[in-house]
Copies of this chain bind each other. A is one copy, B any other.
Amino acid sequence: MSTEGPTPKKMKKIDESGDLEESRDFDAETQKALEEIDGCQNEIDALNEKASEEILKVEQKYNKLRKPFFEKRNEIIKKIPNFWVTAFANHPQVSALLDEEEEECLHYMTQLEVEEFEDIKSGYRIKFHFSKNPYFSNDVLTKEFHLGTSDPKSESTKISWSADMNLVKSARSRQEKMKQGRKRGLDVKSFFLWFEDHEDPSQDDIAEVIKDDMWPNPLQYFLVPDIEVENGVEEEEE
């Protein structure tokens, strides 16, 4: 995968030979001084690049150090029924995406994982693990972002829907109805349409919210004051 390195400030480059040919005619002394300044700039640029590399190494080191705690947390979370669907349904932006039937489906979600790629800058993937369920046969649904190039891309697992259980199809038909009805222009709520949407991978707000807000601390969204929960997801369970 090609990635973009740290981008130090650009400068009007003095030509290969080190002359300042393209600029005004300077006297010899000024010309010499300008070349010396350019030399300083090159040293500064090299230090900037080294600083970026070291910071990246620190970030990578701490990603590794955090990993076992995220894994341990995931194991504990599995013991709590409906942890993720509750956290999703309580999250302001994520809940706005959840259609009622989709929320039913997410009751089968057992685990969330967010992995930054090794070099951090080039992208990340979000994995949704599911137990055996009536909706699809996949164990894991992954949405993956490749952002390291000038042409960012995302891709996601092809979902093997069970007969008559295709929630993307039903979201599309809701979408069609909306277009014909009075709610034209409104976006249809759908987690699975988001999952399959790859239009603007570098601006995927929901993915970013899951990565930067939900994943770092889901407990705050699982734990909400009683009063909110009573009107929330808890009631809908059988």
Interface string of A218-232 (1 = CB under 8 A from B): 011011111001000
Quote the shortest CB–CB distance from A76 to chain B (angstroms): 5
**When the two chains form the complex, which single residue of B11, B65, B222 contacts A217, counting CB atoms closer than 8 Å?**
B11
In the bound complex, CA of A54 to CA of B10 (Å): 27
**Chain B residues whose C-beta falls within 8 Å of the C-beta of A11 in the assembled complex:** 217, 219-220
A73 to B11, CA, bound (A): 15
Q: Are A58 and B69 in contact (CB under 8 A)?
A: no
**A38 neighbours in B (Cβ, 8 Å):** 219
Residue pair B12, A223 in contact (C-beta under 8 Å)? yes
Q: Which of A21-29, A148-156, A163-171 contacts B (4 or more CB under 8 A)?
A: A21-29
Q: Is the CB–CB distance between B34 and A219 below 8 Å?
A: yes
Q: Are A219 and B41 in contact (CB under 8 A)?
A: yes
Copies in the complex: 2
Interface: A37 (CB within 8 A): yes
A47 at the interface (CB under 8 A from B): yes
- Cβ distance A44 to chain B, nearest Cβ, rounded Å: 5
The answer to whether the Cβ of A185 comes within 8 Å of any Cβ in the partner chain is no
Q: How far is the CB of A65 from chain B (nearest CB, A)?
A: 5
Is A96 part of the contact surface with B, judged by Cβ < 8 Å? Answer: no
Within 8 A of B (CB), among A184-238: 213, 216-217, 219-220, 222-226, 229
Q: A36 near B: Cβ within 8 Å?
A: yes
Q: Is the CB of B47 within 8 A of A62?
A: yes
**A1 within 8 A of partner (CB):** no
| A26 CB → nearest B CB, Å | 8
Contacts of A37 in B (CB 8 A): 73, 76-77, 219
B29 with A79: CB separation less than 8 A: yes
Chain B residues with Cβ below 8 Å from A224 are 23
Against B, the Cβ 8 Å flags (1 = close, 0 = not) of A48-81 are 1011001100110110011001101100110111
8 A-B contacts (beta carbon < 8 Å): A24-B229, A30-B81, A33-B76, A34-B219, A37-B219, A44-B73, A44-B217, A55-B55
